[in-house]
Amino acid sequence: MRRLAGEPMVRWVGPALLSVVVTACGPSPRTPEPEGAEAGAVPSADAAPAARAVEAARAQEGVPYRFGGDGPGAFDCSGLVHFAYDRAGVDLPRTVARQRRRSEPVDPERLRPGDLLFFRFADKVAHVGLYLGDGRFIHAPKRGGRVERAELERAFWRERLVEAGRPY
């Protein structure tokens, strides 16, 4: 806009300033949610260790199961979780029972990557997995098995899930 001689400066500065203010106060472009993030989940500063734990656990996929194993060459279920969180800088107990006591309960409908999933076998909570997002988790399943991903929605796992917890 061109200012004419004798015209007040406010008349042409006003619209230019208004367009700058409106543009600056407008919505910023939406940043995409990280891979595996649940829709509507509010990320927290505490989520960084969980992301590192998920990355560490994923890197162990295919490693053999061994009772009492806590890596890096073999794992049992709680050993995998312990190893992953140790790599993320979080001091987590070694056994399923202690990991469960240490975790803050989470509604299974509000899971975030890095949450722990506790399963019941033979009337005892005896298995733990690490939630990856999108209904999947990673765990060290049983003798003869290897660290693998599994679907939480499979009836076998859904029927045995007793609790989810956030260890950070």
Please report, for the chain, the start and end positions of each structural domain, with discontinuous segments joined by +: 47-166
The residue type of 63 is V
Q: Note the CATH architecture for domain 47-166.
A: Alpha-Beta Complex (3.90)
The rounded distance, in Å, linking the Cα atoms of 128 and 138 is 9
- Say if residue 72 is preceded by a cis peptide, omega within 30 of 0: yes
How far is 67 from 143, CA to CA, in rounded Å?
7
Question: Does 139 participate in catalysis according to the annotation?
Answer: yes
Contact 80, 138 (CB under 8 A): yes
Average pLDDT per block of 10 residues along the chain, 168 residues long: 49 40 31 38 68 98 97 97 97 97 96 98 96 98 97 97 95
CB 53 within 8 A of CB 114: yes
Instruction: Assess contact for 133 and 38: CB atoms under 8 A.
Output: yes
Set 100, 112, 127, 166: catalytic member: 127
Residue at token pair 């015209």: 7
> Annotated catalytic residue: which of 77, 117, 138, 164?
77
Catalytic residue among 139, 140, 152, 164: 139
pLDDT at 168: 83
Q: What is the pLDDT of residue 37?
A: 42
Alpha-carbon radius of gyration of the chain: 25
pLDDT (0 to 100) of residue 45: 57
DSSP 122-138: TTEEEEEEEEEETTEEE
**Structure-token pair, residue 99:** 């990991």
Give residue 78's pLDDT. 98
| Contact yes or no for 138/78 (Cβ under 8 A) | no
Q: Measure CA of the first residue to CA of the last residue in the chain; give whole Å.
A: 57
